[in-house]
Amino acid sequence: MVVTTSWYLVLGAVLFSLGAVGLLTRRNPLVMFMCVELMLNAVNLTFVSLGAALGDLGGQLAVFFVLVVAAAEVVVGLAVVVAIMRRRQGATVDDLSVLGG
Amino acid sequence: MSTVVTPEVLWWALIPVILLSVSAMLLLTVASLVRHLPSFLAQAWTVVTGLAVLVASVPMWNEVRDTGPRSFLGGTVAVDGSTVLATAALAIAVVATALLARLYLVREDLPGVELYVLLMLSAAGGVVMVSADDLIVLFLGLEILSIAVYVLAALHLRRIESQEAALKYFVLGAFASAFLLYGIALLYGATGSTRMALVSEHLSSVVLFDDGMLLAGIGLILVGLAFKVAAVPFHAWTPDVYQGAPSPVVAWMAAGVKVAGFASMVRVLVVTLSTHVSDWSPAVGVLGGLSVVVGASMAVLQTDVRRMLAYSSIAHAGFLLLGVQAADAQGTAAVYAYLVVYTLLATGSFAVLTVVGGPGDEAHGLDTYRGLAHRRPVLAGAFTLLLLGQAGIPFTGGFVAKLGVLAAAVEGQSYWLAGIAMLAAAIAAFVYLRILVAMYMEDGDLEEPEHSKDAVVPLGAWIVIGMACIGVLAIGIVPGPLMELARDAVPVLVGG
């Protein structure tokens, strides 16, 4: 059996969907961040496999940018979560419902 | 020995990004070296930087008009009329936000220069976004803009509302970025490049037999951008974030983030994907129609003025989408004119909210505005003008802006959409009328709230409100110059 590009693309799509569904259904902020990471890494896989299929370096270069952005994003996200946890131990996103009209 | 070939750089076209980011870094360095930096210095620094960008955009505009649009850095960054106009609008938003920020920071006892630094970095990201000629650069700009705004939303460390707003904005923002990025990846797979000029060239020269990947890519990019500009059904975060985040930050979110979001949406959809208008234009039309209707009708139900303005900003996004879906030069020009007017309206309105909000940034209920005309006639008068502008009453800039996008929609034969938008504009007018009635007609609350008795409206807020009012009136009475600017600002793709 030959593993073609489309296998990787399907795997990327599955991982992306897992991340998206997880983000929408989980209630722990940390798990939600992990889901975002999963989505971004699914995109990375897609970029790399498409780049390989096209014989183009651009796809692999894009991954470096995405990695850096993902790291920066998590730093900010964790800082916000730590700031919240300091005030409320073990908070889930359901506990954060001060806002509303 | 071989020499490394470096790409051509047009340094003059990078001046706004350099000014904003270098100035932000310098301010951060100075503030960490000097123990007690007077807070007005940080503010003045930011205002001067914003003004410098605004001034720099004048020669840039002339240069672009004389020599035509250019692409540089290996075809990843472009400079054209739309870039310069959007940069100028971002600079105006930076100046306005910085002028408001000190009032808020002093009142809330939040020392430090973080707000100014992050504001300038965020604006630098916005400029990168509007001048991107490569989808990856667009993504980087979007993230520089967004990550700074996530921190800005969480700036008030003692208010749980601020942190809640930041978390909600962060989670949904990251979600949207992932969608946009996946869309870029699929578009790359379908066309073989992330450079907009090459994507466009490929799409116009090659007929794809199986365009599933391309369509999925376009759809995902659309979803990602719709999240960022808060179009229905991707708007759920907006009211909560606007309610919880510090008011000056909301002014930046409303004005700056929208300008960058729509300018890049025009670049990607209207310019790059011009060969596939029939695929994305109906979807954008549906998003626009939903946004105007849901934004206007949900605003009616709110009792918190900040949430009202949040929903009205969703309705404004809908109007802007109407201009985007027209997908022609007229629609694009209408979008740019609308963005400039909206920058003035949003910063002015949120300046009023910052002042009225009082200590703790709490007093935003409709009750607070009851009898405001008796207590503070000038402030109420200015707010009246800005609200009428948002409603799109003739002789205000809002009318010119709304008329532009509606005309573009009618010209593009989207009669239904234009009809729905006009209906929604009428509903939205009722919302603004509710605030006006509270300010002028109801004086049951003659006993003033404790905090506002001796509160003096600071100079910074006056400047913002005054400039916004003058701008909105001037554009409303003499719309010609802005229309001309917007017409000349139509974006073009240049192969690098």
How close A5 comes to chain B (CA, Å)? Answer: 11
pLDDT digits (tens, 9 = 90+) for B184-218: 999 999 999 999 999 999 998 887 777 889 999 99
Question: What's the rounded mean pLDDT across residues A61-83?
Answer: 91
- Has residue B243 been placed in a domain? yes
Domain ranges, ordered by start, for chain A? 5-91
Residue A32 to residue B147, Cβ atoms within 8 A: no
Residue A99 to residue B160, Cβ atoms within 8 A: no
Identify residue B35 by its one-letter amino acid code.
R
Q: Is B165 on the interface with A (CB under 8 A)?
A: yes
What's the full length of chain A, in residues? 101
What's the full length of chain B, in residues? 496
**Nearest alpha carbon to residue B239 among B164, B289, B174, B178:** B164
Q: Which pLDDT belongs to residue B453?
A: 46
The span from the CA of B114 to the CA of B97, in Å, is 13
Residue B182 to residue A66, Cβ atoms within 8 A: no
- Has residue B2 been placed in a domain? no
Q: Which chain B residue lies closest to A75 (C-alpha atoms)? A: B147
**Nearest alpha carbon to residue B382 among B306, B472, B309, B448:** B472
Give the number of other Cβ atoms within 10 Å of residue A4's Cβ.
10
pTM score of the predicted model: 0.94
Residue B170 to residue A77, Cβ atoms within 8 A: yes
Q: Which CATH code fits A5-91?
A: 1.10.287.3510
Identify residue B279 by its one-letter amino acid code.
D
- Which sign, positive or negative, has the C-alpha torsion B93, B98, B100, B104? positive
Residue A39 to residue B189, Cβ atoms within 8 A: no
The span from the CA of B426 to the CA of B177, in Å, is 34
Q: Using alpha carbons only, how large is chain B's radius of gyration in Å?
A: 22
Q: Is B297 on the interface with A (CB under 8 A)?
A: no
Residue B411, classified by CB atoms within 10 Å of its CB into exposed (0-12), middle (13-18) or buried (19+), is middle
How close A53 comes to chain B (CA, Å)? Answer: 9
B178: nearest CB among A43, A84, A101: A43
Does ipTM surpass 0.90 in this model? yes
- Has residue B6 been placed in a domain? no
pLDDT digits (tens, 9 = 90+) for B52-64: 999 999 999 999 9
How close B139 comes to chain A (CA, Å)? Answer: 9
Residue A32: C-alpha distances to residues A25, A29, A100, B60 (Å) = 9, 5, 22, 43
Residue by residue, what is the 3-state secondary structure of chain A? CCCCHHHHHHHHHHHHHHHHHHHHHCCCHHHHHHHHHHHHHHHHHHHHHHHHHHCCCHHHHHHHHHHHHHHHHHHHHHHHHHHHHHHCCCCCHHHCCCCCC
CA dihedral B101, B103, B108, B112 (to 10 degrees): 50
The span from the CA of A75 to the CA of A69, in Å, is 10
Q: Which chain A residue lies closest to B195 (C-alpha atoms)? A: A58
Give the number of other Cβ atoms within 10 Å of residue B74's Cβ.
14
Residue B139 to residue A20, Cβ atoms within 8 A: no
- Has residue B4 been placed in a domain? no
- Has residue B169 been placed in a domain? yes
- Cα–Cα–Cα angle for B106, B111, B117, rounded to 5 degrees: 105
Residue A20 to residue B175, Cβ atoms within 8 A: yes
Residue B139 to residue A65, Cβ atoms within 8 A: yes
Q: Which pLDDT belongs to residue B31?
A: 92
A66: nearest CB among B174, B181, B301: B181
- Has residue B259 been placed in a domain? yes
- Has residue B494 been placed in a domain? no
Residues 6 or more apart from B9 whose CB is under 8 A from it? Answer: B72, B73
Q: Which pLDDT belongs to residue B417?
A: 92
Q: Which chain B residue lies closest to A38 (C-alpha atoms)? A: B178
Residue A23 to residue B175, Cβ atoms within 8 A: yes
**Residue in A21, A32, A73, A93 to test binding to B, most B beta-carbons within 10 Å:** A73
| Domain hosting residue B91, numbered range | 11-488
- Has residue B56 been placed in a domain? yes
Residue A93, classified by CB atoms within 10 Å of its CB into exposed (0-12), middle (13-18) or buried (19+), is middle
Q: Is B463 on the interface with A (CB under 8 A)?
A: no
For A:6-65, CB contacts with B below 8 A are 9, 16, 19-20, 23, 29, 32-33, 36, 39-40, 42-43, 46-47, 50-51, 53-54, 56, 58-59, 61-62, 65
Q: Which residues of A touch B140 (CB under 8 A)?
A: 65, 69
Q: Which chain B residue lies closest to A58 (C-alpha atoms)? A: B193
A80: nearest CB among B161, B163, B303: B163
Tell me whether strands B77-79 and B70-72 are parallel, antiparallel or unpaired: antiparallel
Residue A42 to residue B182, Cβ atoms within 8 A: yes
pLDDT mean across residues, chain B: 90
How close A1 comes to chain B (CA, Å)? Answer: 24
Q: How many domains does chain B have?
A: 1
Contact predicate A84/B167, CB 8 Å: yes
**Residue in A4, A11, A66, A74 to test binding to B, most B beta-carbons within 10 Å:** A66
For B:84-103, CB contacts with A below 8 A are none
Q: Which residues of B touch A42 (CB under 8 A)?
A: 182
- Tens place of pLDDT per residue across chain B (496 aa): 678 888 888 899 999 999 999 999 999 999 999 888 888 899 999 999 999 999 999 999 999 988 888 888 888 999 999 999 999 999 999 999 999 999 899 888 888 899 999 999 999 999 999 999 999 999 999 999 999 999 999 998 888 888 889 999 999 999 999 999 999 999 999 999 999 999 999 998 887 777 889 999 999 999 999 999 999 899 989 999 999 999 999 999 999 999 999 999 999 999 999 999 999 999 999 999 999 999 999 999 998 999 999 999 999 999 999 999 998 899 999 999 999 999 999 999 999 999 888 787 777 888 888 888 888 889 999 999 999 999 999 999 999 999 999 999 999 888 999 999 999 999 999 999 999 998 888 765 555 555 554 466 788 899 999 999 999 999 999 999 999 999 888 887 776 5
Residue A76 to residue B151, Cβ atoms within 8 A: yes
Give the number of other Cβ atoms within 10 Å of residue B228's Cβ.
25
B136: nearest CB among A33, A62, A96: A62
Q: Which residues of B touch A41 (CB under 8 A)?
A: none
How close A3 comes to chain B (CA, Å)? Answer: 18
Q: Which pLDDT belongs to residue B455?
A: 60
Residues 6 or more apart from B224 whose CB is under 8 A from it? Answer: B176, B177, B178, B179, B180, B181, B183
Tokens read off for A28? 């722990």
pLDDT level of residue A101 (50, 70, 90 thresholds):
low
B185: nearest CB among A46, A80, A99: A46
**Nearest alpha carbon to residue B123 among B156, B152, B157, B82:** B152
Q: Which pLDDT belongs to residue B454?
A: 47
Q: Is B188 on the interface with A (CB under 8 A)?
A: yes
